[in-house]
Chains A and B, each alone.
Chain A
Amino acid sequence: MARKSHVQTTINGETVEFLCESRQSLLEVLRDELYLTGAKEGCNNGNCGACSVILDGRLVNSCLVLGVETEGKSVETIEGLADPDKLHPIQDAFLENAALQCGICTPGFIMSAKALLDSNPNPTEHEIRYWLAGNLCRCTGYDKIVKAVMDAAKETSA
C-alpha cells in the first residue's frame, strides 16, 4: 500500500490535518478522508465542474488538484459558505429562482458563482455565461441558474 503523507491546510477557515496517498486528488481527500461530500464527482477530469472549490482565492476543479498540493493553502468549499443561521446570498438566489432540479451540480455552480462575484461584482449576462461555462448542468437548461447569479450579484453589490 502506498505510504501516506501528512498534510496541514486550512479548510473553510479551520486548520485541518489529514493523511493521504500522493495519488489522491483534493476531491478524494475532501470526500473520502474529511467527509466533506458537498463537492461532487461528475467526470473526474475537469470537464463538469461539479467538484469546484476555491483554492487560495482561485476557482479550481478539485479533481485536478492533488491533496498533497494543498499543504499550507486555504480551501473554500460549499460547506463553509453559509453562516450558521443565514444562507449566502447566492444560495438564497438559487432557492428563490428555482435554479436547481436534481441538485448534483448545484454546489459546484454556487462555488463558481462565488468566485465570479468575488472578482467581478457586477457581471453582465454574457460574463456570467462565459464564467459558468465550465460547470455542466443537465437539468435546467441554465436559464434559472444565470438569473439566480444575476440576482445574487444585485444583492451582494447593493
Chain B
Amino acid sequence: MTEKKEYKVIGTRPIRHDGVDKVTGRALYGADFQMTGLLHGRVLRSPHAHARIVSIDTSRAEAYPGVKGVATAQDLPDAEDRIADLGEGAVNLKYLCDNILASDKVLYQGHAVAAVAATSPHIAEEACTLIDVEYEVLPPVLEVRQAMEADAPLLHETLKTTSMGETADEPSNVASHIQHQLGDPEKGFAEADIVVERDFVTGTVHQGYIEPHNATAHFNQDGQLTIWCSTQGAFTVREQVAEILQYPISKIKVVPMEIGGGFGGKISVYIKPVAALLAKKTGKPVKVLMNRADVFEGTGPTPASYVRVKMGATKEGKITAAEAYLAFEGGAYPGAPVGPGAMCIFAPYNIENVVIDGYDVVVNKPKTAPYRAPGAPNAAFGSETVVDELAEKLGIDPLEFRLLNGAKEGDRRADGPVHPRIGCIETVETAKAHPHYTAPNGQKHHGRGVASGYWFNIGLESSVTINVNSDGTINLIEGSTDIGGTRSSIAMQAAEVLGIPAESVNPSVVDTNSVGYTAVTGGSRTTYATGYAAYEAAQDVKRKMIARAAKLWEVDEANVQFADGEFSCINGKEEQISFRDLCGRLGQTGGPVVGSGTVNPGGAGGAYATHIVDVAVDEETGKVEILRYTAVQDAGRAIHPSYVEGQIQGGAVQGIGWALNEEYIYNDEGTMTNASFLDYRMPTCLDLPMIDAVIVEVPNPGHPYGVRGVGEVPIVPPMAAIANAIYDAIGIRMTELPMSPDRLLKAMGKI
C-alpha cells in the first residue's frame, strides 16, 4: 500500500527517557516544587454564575495572622480592549485579564475574585472566607440556544456579533458567525434521492487531567520574574503573563515542570499571573495550587453545543450535499472552537455541495479551553450519526458507504484547503478488513457501530539544540513539555539521522531562557514539529561532523560520506571513523560541536481515524457497556508505536467517557452540582475492555520521516460510533450526549 523505508531507530519501542523518574516518584511536577521561604496562595471564587461586583473588602483577611498579602483585579494593570496574539491565536486582552481576576462582573460560578498569600495553604484558605464581597446577582444564561435569543441576559454589554467581516450594531451573546460554502447546496439536495436531517445536543465536558493547575512565582530584587509550573507551553505562559502584567518578556523566565496531563486545558493561564502578583506584593516566592473543584469550576471545559446536520445522497450511495449548523458555547468569554468544528465536520468525505454555519456564543459557564481536537467531536457526533442513517436507509454497509464517498488527495475541504496525501480511505479499508468488523454480534440488545473522524493537525514553531558529547552521545535541548512520551519520539528522530541508538540521546525540556521559541505541546504538533526541528538539528550536527572528519583526514568535505553511524572517505584515502570515535576527537579538530534546528513547517498533514465498537445495552438500567473496541488511525509514520497506540487508546477512552457519562450538571442558579471526580464520572479501567489500536501508515509528505500528529483525532469518532452501536442494539437514534442511563431509559420509554 505504501512504500516502506528501512529505519534503525524509527518504529522501535525503546524505554522512554524519563521513564525511570516517573515510575519511582522522582519526577518533579509543578506542585512538587519547593523553595525556602515559600508562601502559599489561594483564590477566592464567585458563588454566583452572573453578578455585578459592588464592593470587595479585604481588610479582615489582611489582618488575619499568617496572611502576607491579598490581591484583587485592582492590582492588575488596566487592561485595554485590544487583541493580543498569544501563541494560540488572537485573544482579547481585557477578557483575558478579567478571567484571571474579575473586575466589574463575575460571569460564572468559580470565577476568580481575589487571592491570598499566607504562611500555609490552610491559613490562605481560611483567610479567603474573610474577604467580604458584595454582589448584585443577575440572571444567568446557561444554554447556547437560550443565550442566542434576543431577550437573553447579556454577559458583555459591549460584545457585538461579527459576521463575515461585518459587526452588528446591537450587543449580543453571539460573538461571531462564520460560514463556509462549497458548490451549490440547494442543487445538491435537489439531486438527492434521500435526505436525512437531525438535531444534536452535547454537554459540557472537562479535559479531566489528573494533575490540578499549579504555579510558583518569585520576583528577584532585580525585577526578574521566574515561574515554575505545569504547562503545555512555557513560551505561551511567558507571553500571556507578560501581557496581563504588562511586564517585558525579557524579564520573565518560565520553567516547565513535569506536567500531569493537559489535553489542551493547560495552555490558557489562570493562577500563574496570580502567583506572580502575590509574589510581587509579598516579596516572597508564592505557590498557588488549585483543588479539584477549582479545576472543574474555574478552568476551561470544552463547549456544550447544539448541532444540526442535513445530508443527502443518491440511491447509488453518492453524497450530493451536506449542511451543518453549529452553535457552540464559548463560556464566559468568546473563543468556542467552532472554526475547527467547521473545518472537520465533513472532512472524511468528498462532497461537492456544502454549507456550514458556525456560531461562537457566550454563556455563564467557565471560559472554554481547547480539549483534544477542539470542536471536532461535537460536530462529528452529528455528521457521523447522519452518515450512518443514510447508509442504513440506502441499505449500504456503513464502511462501504464511507469508501464510496471518502476524501482523497486533491479533494477540497468545505472551508477551502485541498487535501494533500491523506489516509482517510486506508483507515476505512483497514477497519473493514479487521476481524472485529465481521465477528458475530447477534445477541439481543448487543450492537455494533462505526464512525470516522478527522483532525487537521498543526505545525508552528519549534527549536532544538544538540550538544555533542565526547563519548558519542548527544544532549538534545528542547522546549516542548512532554505529556505523553515526546522526549523519546523527538530523540529517536535525531538518533535516526546520526545513526546512534535512542539511548545515546539525552533529551531535556528546558526553560524559556535556555532554548529557542517553541510553541505549545498541542494541536498534535510535538512529534511532528519539534521532531522536525530535532531532525534539522541532527542534520546540522552531521554537516559539522563531516567537516571534522574531512579536517582529520585532510580531504575535502565532499569526499566524506556518512552512513549507518560511520564516516568514511570516498575518494583517495581508505579512512573510516565511527560517529562515537569522532565525538572523542572534537577537541583536536576545532572544539565542541553544537547543532541547531528551527522550524515552522506548514505541512502538518491531516489525520484520519475509523473506529468500531460493540456495545450491550442493559434494558433494565439503561447502562451501556463497551464490549469490544477497535480504533484504526493513520499515523503517517509511527516513530514510537507504543506511544502512538497509547494516544489512540487514551483518546478513544476519553471519547467513551464523553459519550456515556461525562457532563457538567448545573442547577437553575448556574451552580455546578458535580464538581468532583465522584460525581463527574470519568471511565475507570473496570468500565472498559482492551482497546485494540491499529496503526495505518500513509507517510506525510510534509515531514522528512512522514510523521502525522496522532494525539487528537482518536477522540473524534467514539461518540457517533457508540450512538450508532446503540441504534444497532435497540433501534433508537440517540442524539444527546452523554448517552447516560437516564437518557437511555427515557429513550426506551421506561421512565
Q: Which residues of A contact B (CB under 8 A)?
A: 1-2, 21, 23, 31, 35-45, 47-48, 50, 77-79, 81-82, 87, 91, 94-98, 100-107, 110, 128-130, 132-147
Asked whether B122 lies within 8 Å of A23 as measured between CB atoms, the reply is yes
With A21-B122, A50-B210, A129-B686 as contacts: A38 and B650 at CB distance below 8 Å:
no
On chain B, the residues within 8 Å of A36 by CB distance are 25
5 other contacts beyond A23-B122, A37-B32, A82-B24, with CB at 8 A cut-off? A45-B292, A95-B20, A101-B485, A138-B650, A141-B650
CA distance A106 to B208 in the complex (A): 16
**Chain A residues with Cβ under 8 A from B12's Cβ?**
none
Are A101's CB and B686's CB within 8 A?
Answer: no
User: Which residues of chain A are within 8 angstroms of B212 by Cβ–Cβ distance?
Assistant: 41-42
Asked whether any CB of chain A lies closer than 8 Å to the CB of B47, the reply is: no
* Complexed CA–CA distance, A2 and B643 (Å): 48
Choice from A79, A98, A105, A132 contacting B643 with Cβ under 8 Å: A98
Bound complex: CA A130 to CA B654 (Å): 19
Q: Which of B665-695 contact A (CB under 8 A)?
A: 676-678, 682-686, 688, 690-691, 693
Question: Which parts of B1-52 form the interface with A (CB within 8 Å)?
Answer: 13, 15-16, 18-20, 22-29, 31-32, 34
B435 to chain A, nearest CB (A): 18
Q: How far is the CB of A32 from chain B (nearest CB, A)?
A: 8
Give the chain B neighbours of A107 by CB distance below 8 A.
Answer: 23, 25
Contact residues of B: prevailing secondary structure: loop
Residues of A close to B15: CB separation below 8 A: 95-96
Residues of A within 8 A of B263 (CB): 138
Q: Whole-angstrom distance between the alpha carbons of A78 and B289 in the complex?
A: 22
Interface residue ranges, B against A (CB under 8 Å): 13, 15-16, 18-20, 22-29, 31-32, 34, 65-66, 122-123, 207-212, 258-263, 289, 291-292, 483-485, 640, 642-643, 645-647, 649-654, 676-678, 682-686, 688, 690-691, 693
How far is the CB of B211 from the nearest CB of chain A, in Å? 4
State the total of A-B contacts with C-beta under 8 angstroms.
189
Contact in complex: A48, B688 (CB < 8 Å) = no
Q: Of the candidates B16, B485, B688, which one forms a contact with A142 in the assembled complex, judged by CB atoms under 8 Å apart?
A: B688
Q: Of residues A82, A94, A129, A139, which shows the largest number of chain B Cβ atoms within 10 Å of its Cβ? A: A139
Query: A40 to B31, Cβ gap below 8 A?
Result: yes
Could you give 29 example pairs across A and B, Cβ below 8 Å? A21-B122, A36-B25, A39-B25, A40-B211, A45-B678, A48-B677, A50-B210, A79-B24, A79-B26, A96-B15, A98-B485, A100-B23, A102-B210, A102-B259, A102-B260, A106-B22, A128-B685, A134-B684, A136-B210, A136-B677, A137-B210, A138-B209, A138-B210, A139-B646, A140-B650, A141-B650, A141-B654, A143-B649, A147-B690
> What's the minimum C-beta distance from A137 to chain B, rounded to whole angstroms?
7
Closest to B485 in A: A101
Q: Are A143 and B691 in contact (CB under 8 A)?
A: yes
Q: Tell me the minimal C-beta distance from B144 to chain A in angstroms.
A: 26
Q: Report chain A residues within 8 Å CB of B211.
A: 40, 42, 102, 104
* A144–B640 CA distance with the chains assembled, in angstroms: 14
Instruction: Name the distance in Å between A9's Cβ and chain B's nearest Cβ.
Output: 18
Which of A43, A95, A97, A138 has the most chain B CB atoms inside 10 A of its CB? A138
Given known contacts A91-B23, A95-B16, A95-B23, is B28 in contact with A101 (CB within 8 Å)? Answer: no
Residue from A104, A107, A129 having most chain B Cβ neighbours under 10 A: A104
Contact with A133, one of B26, B684, B693 (Cβ below 8 angstroms): B684
B19: chain A residues within 8 A (beta carbon): 94-95, 100
When chains A and B are docked, how far (Å) is the Cα of A23 from the Cα of B126?
13
Q: What chain A residues lie within 8 Å of B650 (beta carbons)?
A: 101, 138-141
B43 to chain A, nearest CB (A): 16
Tell me which residues across on chain A come within 8 A of B122, comparing CB atoms.
2, 21, 23
Measured CB to CB, the closest approach of chain B to A44, in angstroms, equals: 6
* With known contacts A95-B16, A139-B484, A87–B209 Cβ distance under 8 A: no
CA distance A4 to B676 in the complex (A): 30
Question: How far, in angstroms, from A145 to B225 measured CA to CA in the complex?
Answer: 40
B23 to chain A, nearest CB (A): 4
User: 5 closest Cβ contacts across the A-B interface?
Assistant: A38-B25, A104-B260, A141-B653, A103-B22, A141-B649
Is the pair A43, B24 in contact by a Cβ cutoff of 8 Å?
Answer: no
Considering only CB atoms, which chain B residue lies closest to A43 in the complex?
A: B292
> What residue of chain A has the Cβ atom nearest to residue B643's Cβ?
A98
Most chain A Cβ neighbours within 10 Å, of B19, B640, B685: B685
* B483 and A101 within 8 A (CB): yes
* Contact B649–A44 (Cβ < 8 Å): no
